[in-house]
A and B are shown apart, each in its own frame.
Chain A
Amino acid sequence: MGELFGGFATLFTPWPFLYLLGGFLMGLVFGAIPGLTATLAIALLLPFTFGMEVTHALIMVMGIYMAGIYAGSITGITVNIPGAPSGAITSIDGHALMKQGHGAQALSLDAFASSVGGMIGAIVLMLLAEPISDLALLLQTPDKFGLVLMAVVTVTIVARGSLWRAIIATTLGLMISTIGIDPMVPQGRFDFGSYYLIEGIGLLPAVIGLFAVCELLAQGSLPARAALGQIVGKMPRLRNRDFIPDFKTIREIGAFTYIKSSIIGVLIGMLPGGGASMASFISYAEAKRASKRPEEFGNGSHEGLAASESANNAMCGGAIIPLLTLGIPGDAVTAIIFGVLLLHGLVPGPGLLDAHAATIAPMFAALFVASLLVMVSVLLFGPLYMRVARINRGILYAFIALVSMVGVYASSFSSFQMWMALAIGAFAFGLRRFGYPIVPMLMGVILGPYLEEFLRRSLIVSQGDPLVFITSPGSAVFLAMTLVFIWLLRIRPAMAKSGR
């Protein structure tokens, strides 16, 4: 608890707070603009973190994360084009309210719900991180293999579209992770005789390639009117005070809806592959099921708006828990945060909180304060939100292109890393173009070394006996959970669809 207060004290000194504000504003812009996401914003930040203290980098990342997830709903409400997939459910009722002339009210309720959800998520993170971290110290090598395998499988099966394409994407990521020195014996693998490849493919070119370069190429293949929609209609002229939330409506929605949706968001955030979109969808469905006015859902329901938005911001706190305590990133954003930690010599997983509590505590504080800033931001920038989708694409993508490439170069002063980022980006664009998901590939790149090392170590200890994964209690539990997820997320929906 002392470290936690210390974290808040650190956050409220000038530089850390400025980093939080900077990250928050970056997250707002990237989250709100269709085609850009919090993931891309953190990926672009990655090279800059080399020049930052790790605490500042983590604070900034938390600002981007919270603001980016929230801002995904802004253009969803104003022009019905969600800035990020997490805002898609919110835009159903939010845009309906906008069309009814209640756009400012929709944006303020949206920000209020995001703030509440974000705060609840951050509080749960502060309460659960330490106990889970202590439990994680008890895990044996086969248990760790079971856990990493569960994360890899779950991220693969929750990916949208074809399961086979998701399996291919994950496998490609795992293959990339095998390039370079073998994790167990000093032997180069898949270097094709090139000394550049002996050290393997760095995380930075992989992240920049998969997200920034791939996004640049994807946007280049889309005409502007398809990328941004017809955002030329007249927006109503509004003042800042129009964005003060209507507390009568908030009372009507009820504290229970906010709390229940936030808890759903936290729980889904803790699951590998959960993510903001799934959190908002499930909590929206639950709010509709429990509502006294389900007929309003889809036609401008305040309850629906509050449920989806509380859940997707509460998810942020939930997703950080397995990342820090077990070393398991659950989605693309936490996978990149994993990278930020690694680049600064901190290995996410059991023991991190004990060894680096003073470094990590400001991160928790930042997540909590960023959720408060969400409400402040709508009061300050509400009128601007109505116009944010009109930002010039030329400026935007020229900026992204330059920062990506120079960022990769500056991290190692090697042109080879830029070639690698471009090659991975072009390959990822091909995958995306043909319907292969990118996030499982990133998870493969990041978790591959751990998966292989834990697998081989377990088999060495058991002298090649694979039953070790069933006889070890932790591993058996994780493998059983993996089978349950496969049943719930793939087999049961497929059976329901085919009418069996």
Chain B
Amino acid sequence: MKFKVSIGKKPQHDGMVSCVGWTVGDDLFSCGDEGSILKWNTKTGDTAAITKLPDGVYPADMAWFPSNVGGRQSASELFVLGTTDGKFHLVSKNGRFEKSVEAHNGAVIAIKWSKNGNSLVTAGEDGQVKIWSRSGMLRSTLAQVVALGTPVYSVAWGPDSEQILYACGKQIIIKPLSPSAKPTQWKGHDGLIMKLDWSSVNNLIVSGAEDRKYKVWDSYGRLLFASHPHHYPIMSVSWSPNGQMFAVGAFNTLRLCDKSGWCYSLDKPNTGSIYSLDWSRDSTLVAGGCGNGHVIFAGVVNQTIEWKHLVVTLQEEKVLLVEDVVNNTKDQLEFRDRVVKMSLGWDHLVVTTSSQCLIYSTSNWNTPLIFDLKGLTTSAILLARKLFLIVDSVQGLSVYSYEGRLICSPKYSGIRTDSLNVNNIAVSSDTLVLVDSRDSRAYHVFDINTGRELTDKPLYHSQELLTVALDQYGHTNERCLGFTDKNNDLFLIQIRHSNPLSKLKKLGGMVTTLMWHDTTNMLSALQDGRFTVWYYPRAVYIDTELLPQSKVYKDAGEFGKNPQIVSFLGHHCTLRRSDGSLVSTAVSPYPTILQNYVSKTSWDDAVRLCRFVKDGALWASLAAMATAAKELNTAEIAYAAINETEKVEYISYIKDISNKAARNAEMSLFCKQTGEAEGTLLQGGLVYRAIRLNIDLFRWNRALELAVKHKTHVDTVLAFRQKYLQDFGLEESDNLFTQYSKEIAVDWTTIQNKINMELENERGK
């Protein structure tokens, strides 16, 4: 990935360009210190003067009203301009000054709209940070840096618009809007901090300072990356709207960096200091205002995506190169418009340009399926087995099949489309999961075919969710969502279950990144410095003890600090180290083969494979799968192979039960699904067994309730209760039991007879 820089022959501004800002479309506005505001059209390359500022007024910062605020399209026609005389001005698109407000003593250095467009923050030379309403009424003065008298050079909103990030000297400060909350403050740099930016997508902060370094922080102030010192102070930093990368500007320097900090490309244009950087909405172009009056445009090209044997490279803005490594063939795909986003996987390449969406099958590069897009700013494309999802930062989500048919456009009330990104969306061929954009503890589950939410209310987790991922195979009702929360715990949940939260299981802690396998339901993750693969994560619903046995791990020291899993295809897993390099690691191919056998129910082959490989993890996953399929013979063999004697015993006991309902109930019990077991028994008319189940579990009240309800074995329950109390030397404390024990006499011989009779009956059935 790199920048393709274009810069005019002659500077269009006479003075320094102190601020630039993109409109929703392809237009860029730039303000120069000579007082003129210019409009640049990137499609035609035209430049037009919009207006002139009065003499003695110099611009310092500008911000366009956010466009994605629902229903207020007209409001996006205006921007706010901070000037060095301490005022800010609301200016319409055609250059009319709607309103001017006295804001600061000294210059207004930084100005930003909140993400929802409700409020405005300004930072001034007087060291104050002020919050304003949309119409320019002062709401509060958030901070006053009195002690040093230092100006606040940069300010940014937090992802939820509830926090303000600003720089004061060498300090970086995060201040929540609520007045009582304490600010988080840390020393960021050795020099004056010139610019800060906070990405709403990945929640990371980037800062640039006069100590000539840029640094990446997380929202707790932990340093994730620090650059080497440059030759000149860093004057500007800016996150791309999709959160994948950021741009850094300094004197005659423009860098493109990955979100983890390492640098994709470095350009040395002859521009003077780049004072301001702004990304276009589709994250393909960045514009910079330069010290010598130029406005620099830099397009992101040379992005590369890989899938199996295919490599797709964005050669130029409109040209894609598809390379087949196996056949050594190359295809060049040319487009009418700028390529915004592309995604490769599941035998398809999906490309969105600024007006169209093109679907290529990997077997045929000549005839794509083309349809026009509603939205113009695709921020992500997610592929699943039979369909794909286009995320538009203005229009929201739309799900299409690979035939180009729109399946649905899921949405929930209060959706904030600009915050949607790869981390908070999970899609499979039947289910879609979205993390709520306001409260990331909540997540919405959609059925894709109908486009409706499965539950009335979103599901709530105790902590904020960080990443979500859905498995792609298996029965729809058993669809599993894997997610990590703020504590880095990995959970699995069967989201299409009637009571999903009962199926929430924790797989492990300290998980930073996870990825499902492409052809089976294997799950890979990085857990506490180890690369871990669960061969069959659903074992957690079958036999919790099997879960640790069915996972394998290897040391992840070779992947460095904080790697990310990029892909998990076949028996290769690719990870990206924090320095940007890709590392592949091999995973055993046997679990894939085993799962294939199991899906074809060829159990004998599966057993033979396991015997051949002699791997405990493989046996454990086979045991879990066989138990899930109620294939008792195989389960018995598998359990025996991993030395689970008591389970083998129990399975052979189950095998001896002749009654089918009873056997199923015992299987459920084996999987520790007591409720299910009881239900199965009652449905099969085996009341005595149900009562006995509850007695064995010491659930006396339930046993009595069942006995009373079915009017049998009340005395049995009472007898066992008495025996239990006697053994433990306790007194009866339950009123219900004392009441019944008065009414009914307990006689062990009759009870024994009754029990024998029941067992006889059962055998007779």
A binds B: no
